[in-house]
Chains A and B, each alone.
Chain A
Amino acid sequence: MDALTIRNASAMPAPTWGWLRMNDTKIEIPVELAREGSVTVEAGEDLTENHASFEGALTELQERLDAARGDAEDTRACVRAAMRETESLDDLDTPALSTYQRRATLEEIAGDVAAAFETGVHIDVRSYLNFLAGNTVVLATEQGEDAAATVRVSGVSGSAAGASVDVVAAPDSSIDLTISLDGNAAGSDVAGLIGSELRVFAGARSHVDVTVYMTADAAFTAIDDAGYVLDEGARVNVRHIVLGGGRTYTGLASDLRGDTARMDIDTRYLASGAEQRDFNYIIRHRGRKTISNMDANGVLTGTSKKVLRGTIDLVHGCKGSEGSERETVLLANQGVDNKTVPTILCDEDDVAGNHGATIGHVRPEQLFYLGCRGLSQEAAEALFVSAKLEDAALSAPDKDIRANVVRLGSALVDDFADFEEEIA
């Protein structure tokens, strides 16, 4: 049987030069995987027995948005261009649009939240992970409630396991969700797959924290696919800690639909050996005075490869919004391949978009400082790898996830057991 291949996954919304090979990726699902492995959801009954649904939340938001929408005619040239069926030489005031511009304009004037909903990896991945999961767990808070939940996906070699989770945070509520994507190959090199599919609706003034730990062994393909919709004043903090997995795909798309919504993403990653990391972040600012921050910090060693696409889309109408993205990558070995693609799309004035990337080896003044404490260049680079693991272990949400990090660390770093003993 041929491997299932998902093409055009984790695609940038507005592609750049094809020859750079950064626009998207191809996900190969290993062949003949059994549909097993364990998925557990730890959540109070209050959360799982609420009758709210993700679709219902979007419908309710849509009704409010439609009611607030004025009926003034939009006479902008781009709207005329997107709406016309054929181009005419008599109408030189209407510009030609690229495929992307036309799609974006039509989506903007439709104002359809459900139709615009997207996740960061691919709709086919959504279908595949939903199939693996069998059913979707809905975690819904009541207004004003504070709740927490943990989802654990534990893969084993030769199998595929996935979770499908919807989060619906009611107005003024808060929810803290932890997702652990772990695959323990137990010394085997037989392939396995783990993944999670997450849809989040953050209601007005709600506070949603999501932490995803990816700690799979190198034989695993791991996929973390998520889509967010934020209502007015919602605050979402996402932490992606990607430490292990032969091929990992992390994709997040966020629709900052309500005014003053805010999204902060903190990504920490490590890739060693011949591992590959792929990240795709798409933040669409649609509401006014919305804010987003993407902050990624990673270490690449061995002959690992990484692509990080970060797109901030300042959609027409998002006046007063600010988006920023930063990445710091430490290349701890000459053999690594790093690609960073920060993109800012802008169709609004009175907005700010910032991006920056620092890519390099350990800086000379840092090397001297570390040298003054007895660390050679090799030891300094090894420190950055072990520090990434130790930092992840120290800030792990619970002891099971910490144990997964320590298992991974012990396979990668000599004497990591000392650290385990230290924090035990």
Chain B
Amino acid sequence: MSTEALLSVSNLTASVDEKTILHGVDLSVRAGETHVLMGPNGAGKSTMGHVIMGDPVYTVNEGTIAFDGADITELSCDKRSRAGLFLSFQAPVEIPGVPLSSFLRASIAGRPGLEMRGKEFRRRVKELAAQLDMDTAYLNRELGVGFSGGEKKKVEMLQLLLLQPKLAILDETDSGLDVDALSVVSRGMDAYRASCDGSLIIITHNTRILEHLSVDRVHVMVGGRIVREDDASLIPWIDEHGFESFEREAADAAEAR
């Protein structure tokens, strides 16, 4: 494991419509590590994922984001993706008129090492679909249109495995899934880790998805601030006690400010 950070977020403050959501956040992830970002609803976890990925909805007011040795704070999201970042969406968008296979082919086009000729691409995608228990008929359907919640998440996992990013942020990929779909997502994460030793930031409420993962670091976010960082031992503690104590401390700290 490298000692250099793959992703380094420093003093990141971000806002939307002049409302500050993230307040001076620091986060550092080394290559091959798995981090978990937890916190109550509305804490800013998803915003964090979106800002790291370069969602133009948010304004970065302060701080920097460095990835793989380069400052990416000003880069557009497509360039961040090509640099090796990946964000799996909590609610993947539907794109009528675009078959899933066309979208997947466009997403690997021009990526060194990933470009494939027609039949090879089809074979690879079918292989991945089989790995995720996904019906290959979905490949010819319009992206996301009429897909169940579980199928949408499988499509996200399929992209993760196809693109093999250096770092993937999984934004509540486990939310709203039944046990079977949850196990498919877990399998997807394992396969990703096994195939390219990629790094993960898992944003979740649910500690169940973490049961089979070796977690290096846990971050707790409340009110747009990271209020606690620890090793994996924090997970069972949160499981038992929830976020109330963190929220109380954050409220006290806010009062003191």
Chain A interfacial positions (CB closer than 8 Å to B) = 297, 299, 328, 330, 364-366, 368-376, 379, 382-384, 386-388, 390-391, 394-395, 415, 417-424
Contact B99 A391 (CB under 8 A): yes
The reply on B179 being an interface residue by CB < 8 A is no
User: Are B77 and A383 touching (Cβ within 8 A)?
Assistant: no
List residues of chain B with CB within 8 A of the CB of A390.
Answer: 99, 101-102
* CB-nearest residue of chain B to A328: B96
* A297 and B96 contact, CB distance less than 8 A: yes
Residues of chain B in range 28-58 having any CB-CB distance to chain A below 8 Å? 53-57
Please report the total number of B residues contacting A with Cβ < 8 Å: 39
User: What CA separation (Å) do A384 and B95 show in the bound complex?
Assistant: 9
Cβ–Cβ contact A376 & B118, under 8 A: no
* Residue B176 CB within 8 A of the other chain: no
- Min CB distance, B168 to chain A, in Å? 11
Closest to A365 in B: B93
Show 25 residue pairs from A and B whose CB-CB distance is below 8 angstroms, ordered by the A residue.
A299-B97, A328-B96, A364-B57, A366-B93, A366-B95, A369-B92, A369-B93, A370-B78, A371-B78, A372-B53, A372-B89, A373-B106, A373-B159, A373-B163, A375-B78, A387-B99, A387-B102, A388-B97, A415-B109, A417-B118, A418-B105, A418-B121, A419-B118, A422-B118, A424-B118
Contact partner of A386 (CB less than 8 A), chosen from B81, B93, B102, B111, is B102
Whether A384 pairs with B97 at a CB distance below 8 angstroms is: yes
* Contact digits for B151-166, partner A, Cβ 8 Å, 1 yes 0 no: 0000000010001000
What are the 5 tightest A-B residue pairs by CB atom distance, in nearest-first order? A421-B118, A422-B118, A371-B77, A374-B81, A373-B107
**Distance of B102 from chain A, by nearest CB (Å):** 4
In the docked arrangement, what's the CA distance between A79 and B42, Å? 64
The answer to whether B97 and A372 have CB atoms under 8 Å apart is no
Does chain A have a CB within 8 A of B122? Answer: yes
> Which residue from chain B places its CB closest to the CB of A391 in the assembled complex?
B99
Q: How far is the CB of A382 from chain B (nearest CB, A)?
A: 8
Distance, CA A384 to CA B55, complexed state (A):
21
CB distance from B223 to the nearest CB of A (A): 25
**Do residues B78 and A374 form an inter-chain contact, with CB atoms below 8 A?**
yes
Q: What is the CB-to-nearest-CB distance from B68 to chain A, in angstroms, rounded to a whole number? A: 15
Interface presence of B87 (CB below 8 A): yes
In whole angstroms, what is the CA distance A318 to B163 when docked? 55
Instruction: Verify A330–B97 contact, CB threshold 8 A.
Output: yes
- Residues in A whose Cβ lies below 8 Å from that of B142: 391
CB neighbours of A365 from chain B (8 A): 93
Inter-subunit contact B119/A387 (CB<8 Å): no
Verify if B98 is at the interface (C-beta below 8 Å from A).
yes
- Give the CA-CA distance A369 to B80 in the complex, in Å: 12
Query: Given A299-B97, A366-B95, A422-B121, list of 14 further CB < 8 A pairs?
Result: A364-B57, A368-B77, A369-B89, A370-B103, A371-B54, A373-B106, A374-B82, A379-B106, A383-B98, A384-B98, A386-B102, A390-B102, A391-B98, A421-B119
How long is the Cα–Cα vector from A374 to B102 in the complex, in angstroms?
Answer: 14
CB pair B117–A421 under 8 Å, yes or no, is yes
B192 in the interface (beta carbon within 8 A): no
- Distance, CA A364 to CA B105, complexed state (A): 21
Complex formed: what's the CA distance from A422 to B53 in Å? Answer: 31
B98 touches A387 (CB 8 A): yes
Q: Which of B55, B86, B102 contacts A391 (CB 8 A)?
A: B102
Q: Which residues of A contact B95 (CB under 8 A)?
A: 366, 369-370
The residues of B that contact A375 with a CB separation of less than 8 Å are: 78, 106-107
B140, CB-defined interface residue at 8 Å? yes
Q: Find out whether the CB atom of A368 lies under 8 angstroms from the CB atom of B97.
A: no
